[in-house]
Structure 1
Amino acid sequence: MMLSRVAERVYWMARYLERADNTARLISAHTVLLMDLPETLEFNWFTPVVIFNAEAQYKKSYPEVSEENVMRFLIADRDNPSSLLGSFANVRENVRTSLDLLPEEIWEQVNQTYMQLQAALSSLGSRHSRQMVLRDVMAACQRIRGVLESHLSRDHAFDFIQIGKHVERADMTSRTLEMTSLLLAEDRSHALRRYESILWSSLLSALGGQQMYLRHKNSRVVARDVLQFLCQDLQFPRSLLYSLTGLNFYLARLPEPSSVSVISAKVAEQFAKQDITAIPVDQIHWFMDRLQADLTVLHNEIAKTWFYPETDFSQLQSQSQG
């Protein structure tokens, strides 16, 4: 078994890499949605801040809600630990301190992406330039994951990377679903409902699932089918149930996984049994909040079991979702 501090570093490297990728996807989807909807339709830029539970953090630094302020907070704000720049800085640091475990190409890819992101911060005011930066980040995350998948031995380091990836992907996919639900739950959403198919298409695109949805569902984009696909499809790698099932597989490969596996299996089983289509779309965000709470419990048990086995966990302060 690898050292607990090393296991924690590669676990968090994978989580922050997934967080950076999905943050870029979420911001891109929100921007594309704005451009696809009529200019006369009032649009809430604060929703992405809400789904990161970062309202208080935002209000400390920004007196008003605007596209420019929200984008700076989510992409470039160094005081926001879950900003795109902050996430990639954490990927970089965890890679730097784990070079003896990881393929040597990883450092070059991560460092180059971080430097390019820093250099591009001045262009975030332009929507077109911002979209290009976000696409570059998403492509870089795919390249980094490709190197890990292609060159890393299937040992416990790989297991912890996969566990971190699946925990974070489930969390971030739930937040992306939550964004669409919150937009439809707003008091002014009656106007937005006329364009509901655009919202769900944007959601599928954000998660790279539009083509696979059309293949699997063979139908037009409707809320009920999109929710079932993104929540419970066991063949699509960004669905929630796929990530929860992947977690169970990689946890079972580690020594003494019993307590964690029990929690993970219970979360997956309950999620698989849930009739997603019976939940009104404007209430899905409550269901996603509950899943995020379950994932926090699961993360704490992972940390207690493998990262801090002899520590009073109630006193532990570790890296966390912003």
Structure 2
Amino acid sequence: MDIVHGVSITLAELVDLRHRVSEVKLFSAAGRRSPLIGLHHSRLRGRGIDFDQVRAYQPGDDVRAIDWRVTARTREPHTKLFHEERERPVYLLLEQSQQLFFGSQRVFKSVLVAQAAALIGWSVLGHSDRIGGMIFGDDHFRDIRPRRSKQNLLRLFDQLIQANHILQTAAKPPLPRDALCLMLRRAREVLRPGSLALVLCDERSLTDAAEQQLSLAARHSDLVLLPVSDPLDHRLPEAGFLRFAQGQAELDIDTRDPALQQAYQQQAQQRQARWTQLSRRLGIPLLPLSTAYDLVDQLRLHLHQHQPGYQK
């Protein structure tokens, strides 16, 4: 299969994105998270703790942490020490469907999702967290559990590339309206409390059912929303009469019709407003991405806008 730049992705392209990680600080510094990733650290959604060591009991230690086996063996009170779990599981929830196989600017929306996933994936590994993902499309679902290894990230890339290339080689039925909901429901089954999940999907994929699943997931996990769009999703070109076909169905429209233009733009504005309202209601970051601009430039701008004290 011929790979056309911007239409389909390659492994070399995803691997090369590791060189652009330094251009956008998704993680501020070692041991300190950026304003975008890992925003919410409540007691309910804490990372959890790992056993560290046993030492002699000291006044003020929590008696509930006493190691009774060591205490009985040594006949001196000993207590268990724990440390915060250092490796955080990060899930990339990635859409690769026919509705993303489109783009009028720099790249197709499906490619933009893959590029963003690669950039975030390399950033996660650089911060010593575990990276995994779920990829969903018109008739497939792939699940790669998080691990802190380059091999696991490359495995995710391999599955992502396979799903991406399917879009070019075969005609698929439209994505079911509840596909994002089904993926989120499956994600909730494996997301541990304190996990971070980044949702990269088409702007058009948000439904009532998907919104409900996002609300449920946000109770125990940190979420970041990255809906992807193309300029033609928001405004029709003034190209005159156009014919659209899907299977046996055909549709003729006049893109210069003012009423049609206005109705089309209103629908796009309603979709954008719905994402914004969801983000505000759940208190989670919203980072919309467009095929019209460079990925790193967009993420850098979002990062700046989420800094404390930022004013539009």
Is the strand fraction higher in 1 or 2?
2
TM-score range, shorter chain: 0.3 to 0.5
TM-score, normalised with respect to structure 1: 0.32
Larger radius of gyration: 2
Larger RCO, structure (CA 8 Å, separation 6 or more): 1
TM-score, normalised with respect to structure 2: 0.33
Is the helix fraction higher in 1 or 2?
1
